Structure 1
């Protein structure tokens, strides 16, 4: 046990241990993360579909953007290609190593090893914050939304891509059954959580959003943190683009969970 963690009390000590587990899990996944369906964003229709909400919510003018939990730098590319000045943050050195290699030599791009829940960045530094598949992993979500509010300039925007990864939809349960049958016939897809899926499940059980993250849960929390004019957009165009080039098993995966896009505005 880290002595600093020992001094923080039982709740924060539990979060310290959990965050270590989360960091270790994602660091191990960094080696094959881009091979997993839904994480890499290939050029073409899928890239355009992911980029469209960023363009729509952030606008055409170059901004100073903080990307949280950048991982291997896939979302980094779509933000940076729009002309924004990007700081891409992650707390896994292994993930950042992949991202740095992928984007070597690019201007207007800074990589930062830091904790998305406590960035240590200055007040009102950024015009926008973007994150994909991060909010469901937060150990202190309400406090973290307050941290992100602090980092934004007046009029800044928080753009979240996420989903309810705990409960498949009604159609998703049928899709999951079909995926299991495919796995039995041709073997499992070892790059899709694969051998680490038990660890993934254990981590999720210990998170505040263990029962699932929904728009209906997230929006009031954003308002409590000070955000206003919260907009909700459909993830369906992205899923439809993914299905254009995916195999049957991966097309089925796009139906399993309810995913969403939310943009929250800090008052100007």
Structure 2
């Protein structure tokens, strides 16, 4: 039975890796992924400073860094940044972006759940929209705990995109209606075509948080992994307000009503 389970997880992890490799081509085109205004950049800076403080040369590991959006925010704030991702097409774009901007960010091909990095080698760990994809989040959080120096912090930015509120569902329906009138081209945010949307849903149905990554469930697993001072921050209004300018009207409202959060925790 264990062998079958391991094989299933291996297959799922391969599918997740392949999915994000394909998403790399259009990832930076979408609001909510890349940053499209200085207002939004400042809002992200404020969130990071609130939970991690200024970099001051401290080491930070940006897990599942993708095209390095968060890595650049950390670099802005003075962290010494390593970006890690297992999707090589994402990393190719991340490296090109860093080179174009003259940033000294170190990039590694690796798995956020099994990093192969040394014990107590980072002062901070960040990730955005990673936790919902994890196969075994408790083991993963224990891995992150191992990587942090004593007093180091993890900052998770994610959301529960499964258990949506009545208001969110209403906004989604209004966005879809607007799309039929040609007023909301961003009605489907994320996977750029039907095949990839089906892949996304198939992955979601099999990961640990298939029923939604609620902040409280994530926080409880962080505590079980050995973290303390776990703080759930749902004040994402400044970021959503800045992003809204690049969404259609109803899509922006839909996004603002979702259960999105930042969670910080300390070793």
TM-score normalised per structure 2: 0.92
Which whole-Å deviations, capped at 9, do the CAs of 1:130-174 have from their partners, x for residues lacking one?
000001100111000000000000000000000001122221011
SS of residue paired to 2:126: strand
Which whole-Å deviations, capped at 9, do the CAs of 1:57-83 have from their partners, x for residues lacking one?
211233100000000111111111111
Distance 1:32 1:207 in 2: 24
2:137 counterpart of 1:141: yes
Deviation at 1:27, TM superposition (A): 0.6
2:221 counterpart of 1:194: no
Alignment-derived partner of residue 97 in structure 2 = 102
Contact 1:149 1:225 in 2 (8 A): yes
Distance 2:246 2:172 in 1: 20
Alignment-derived partner of residue 54 in structure 1 = 48
2:33 counterpart of 1:39: yes
Deviation at 1:107, TM superposition (A): 5.0
Alignment-derived partner of residue 5 in structure 1 = none
Match of 1:131 among 99, 104, 127: 127
Distance 1:144 1:111 in 2: 20
Alignment-derived partner of residue 15 in structure 2 = 21
Q: Output aligned runs, 1:172-191, within 5 Å.
A: 172-186=168-182, 188-189=185-186
TM-score normalised per structure 1: 0.92
Aligned length: 260
Alignment-derived partner of residue 212 in structure 1 = 212
Kindly report the root-mean-square deviation, in angstroms, between the aligned alpha carbons of the 2 structures. 1.8
SS of residue paired to 1:194: coil
Distance 1:192 1:230 in 2: 29
Distance 2:143 2:216 in 1: 21
Greater Cα offset, 121-130 or 211-220: 211-220
Alignment-derived partner of residue 74 in structure 2 = 79
Contact 1:188 1:194 in 2 (8 A): no
Contact 2:172 2:250 in 1 (8 A): no
Greater Cα offset, 179-188 or 50-59: 179-188
